[in-house]
Amino acid sequence: MKNKQVEYQDWGLIDYKEAWDKQESIFSKSVQLKTEIRNRQQAVLAGTEEAEEDVLTPNYLVFCEHPHVYTLGKSGKANHLLLDEEGLKEKEAVYYPINRGGDITYHGPGQLVVYPILDLDNFFTDIHLYLRTLEEAVIQTLAHYGIAAGRYPGYTGVWLDADNERARKICAMGVRCSRWVTMHGLALNVNANLDYFGHIVPCGIEGKAVASMQHELGRELDLNEVKKILKHHISVQFGMEIVE
């Protein structure tokens, strides 16, 4: 059986480390539950236990914002952060090396961060398809606002003008997956202060700019409205049933 229900949580503006710890707790419980289910199934097949009612692993979709923070993925290079400790203090920003894929990225107010903590056994067990599906949900959300977006060959995330020299990234992605349970996710620049990206080599890609919805449209957007539209497109792309 597959559980298509996904519990939606909005954590608001939350410290990155606090959100990381909350993610890790949910993620670890899901992985542990999957292990217990698998062991129980093997015991039933071996005849050492009787079959019980199926237990389904839960799914979560978390939306939030973070205060200014730079994070470095497992495959990243520390020198892609162009600020020293004093510079971080001046910018009221913090820095964390973390266990997702990808290089360095920035999170801050006005940026919509999405953490899907999903058991992909409930949807599809293909991490590349998972990333492409998240990208498509963002592309459709941007299209709702009249922003034409797409993919940049060889890189994850969502880009504008990816086919020419004006290529700029509007949504970064980095994920971790264990036993097909996911954590981390995507960061969409809605009203983000793009100046903060000037202090990193974004996602390790030199010579490429970043973008925001606000900058492209010339106006500040209602973040709650963007949340609603992105949540809808994620649910459609994955075939989810969102539970508020």
Mark whether 203 is an active-site residue. Answer: yes
Q: Which domain holds residue 233?
A: 5-243
Domain CATH code at residue 183: 3.30.930.10
What's the pLDDT score for residue 203? 56
Residue 155 has pLDDT above 70, yes or no: yes
- Angle, CA 63 vertex, CA 175 and CA 216 arms, to 5°: 90
Amino acid at 63: F
Q: Give the active site residue among 64, 171, 177, 203.
A: 203
127 C-beta neighbours (distance < 10 Å), count: 14
What's the pLDDT score for residue 98? 84
Task: Name the nearest CA neighbour of 192 among 215, 226, 172, 218.
Answer: 215
The total number of structural domains that make up the chain: 1
Give one DSSP letter per residue of 17-69, joined into a string: HHHHHHHHHHHHHHHHHHHHHHHHHHHHHHTSS----------EEEEEE-SSE
Q: Residues 106-142: pLDDT tens digits?
A: 999 999 999 999 999 999 999 999 999 999 999 999 9
Q: Residues 209-220: pLDDT tens digits?
A: 899 999 999 999
pLDDT tier, 104 (very low <50, low <70, confident <90, very high otherwise) = confident
- Residue 73 sits at φ, ψ, to 5 deg, of -75, 170
Q: Residues 27-38: pLDDT tens digits?
A: 999 999 999 988
Contact 196, 92 (CB under 8 A): no
What's the pLDDT score for residue 40? 80
